[in-house]
Amino acid sequence: MPNLSYHNIKIAKSEHTKEVVVEGEVSNHTEKSYATVAVRVVLFIKNITVANMVFTINGLPAGGTRPFKKTIDDLEYEQVGKDINRYDIYTESAF
């Protein structure tokens, strides 16, 4: 598995809709560039999973950092998002 790290993660309300947005940065600590990185995000309220999804980040250069921002459809911030207290984020694959 590639040596990637995720940081500056924020869970917030979308600027233009009511949905939850997950944003942050991914850093590549290898000498290999990746055309696509598949990232899994799992959001929790206490120990209950409220979202479990995979999204892609394109064009992650060797030694580089890229920002990402993903809107989670059908998960409204005011109903659920403000209560999210934990997340898991990790690389599913990279190529």
Residue 11 in tokens: 């869970």
**pLDDT at position 51:** 96
How sure is the predictor about 93, in pLDDT bands with cuts at 50, 70 and 90? very high
- Give the per-residue pLDDT at 59: 97
Q: What is the pLDDT of residue 2?
A: 84
Task: Kindly report the three-state secondary structure assignment for every residue of 22-74.
Answer: EEEEEEECCCCCEEEEEEEEEEEECCEEEEEEEEEEEEECCCCEEEEEEEEEE
Tell me the per-residue pLDDT of 30-88, one tens digit each, with 9 for 90 and over.
999 999 999 999 999 999 999 999 999 999 999 999 999 999 988 999 999 889 999 99
Domains of the chain, each with CATH number or no CATH:
4-94 (2.60.40.10)
Average pLDDT of the segment spanning 14-40: 96
In contact, 11 and 87? CB cutoff 8 Å: yes
Rounded Cα distance between 92 and 46, Å, is: 24
